[in-house]
Amino acid sequence: MTSMYLNIIILYCLVIAALGFRTQSTSVKGRLVCGTVPQKGVLVRLFDEDDGPDPDDQLDTTYTDDDGYFELAGDTVEFTNIDPEIRIYHNCNNYINPCERAWIIGIPDKYISSGKTPKVTMDMGTMNLEVELEDEGHDCIH
């Protein structure tokens, strides 16, 4: 009898957990320049940043076009709210280091949608890659 109650409790917990998982999506676009020169071929990735042992989820990846424009969109299933961010790898003003400069920029919660299709796109506008971000790093393997 005790094992039956235990099975019911486990089943109940599994159903509650499964119902808590939901599909969330986000979208971002922008343009990258180095000074006044459009940056063609810059790698831009969209991730859901996860804490702990759960690895970050890559939602989308692209390279900027001839005029420096990019657009990314993606979705994932999570129990908690997603923490979307874009990662930009570039060589603007990177004279000494053999690895690319790595920027990580968080996407605000208001650009997260329920479901597989983003309802709103974050427009980052034109970003000058000459800027040196305080927490900027370098990445040879991305």
**Residue 135 resides in a domain:** yes
Say what the pLDDT of residue 1 is: 58
**Residue 108 resides in a domain:** yes
Q: How far is CA 37 from the centre of its chain?
A: 25
pLDDT > 70: percent of the chain: 91
The mean pLDDT of 47-71, rounded to a whole number, is: 93
CA-CA-CA-CA torsion sign (65, 75, 135, 133): positive
**Residue 1 resides in a domain:** no
Domain count, the chain: 1
**Residue 16 resides in a domain:** no
pTM, entire model: 0.85
Q: How confident is the model at residue 20 (pLDDT cuts 50, 70, 90)?
A: low
Cα distance between residue 15 and residue 21, in whole Å? 10
Tokens linked to 63: 């390279």
**Residue 118 resides in a domain:** yes
The mean pLDDT of 45-51, rounded to a whole number, is: 93
Indicate the pairing of strand 37-38 with strand 112-114.
unpaired
**Residue 12 resides in a domain:** no
Give the residue, 53 or 89, on which the prediction is more confident.
Answer: 89
71-80 tens-digit pLDDT: 999 999 988 8
pLDDT > 90: percent of the chain: 75
The CATH number of residue 127's host domain is: 2.60.40.3330
Q: How confident is the model at residue 8 (pLDDT cuts 50, 70, 90)?
A: confident
**Residue 42 resides in a domain:** yes
Domain with 79 in it: 24-139
Say what the pLDDT of residue 53 is: 78
Cα distance between residue 14 and residue 9, in whole Å? 9
CB 122 within 8 A of CB 44: no
Cα distance between residue 123 and residue 116, in whole Å? 19
**Residue 11 resides in a domain:** no
The mean pLDDT of 108-119, rounded to a whole number, is: 97
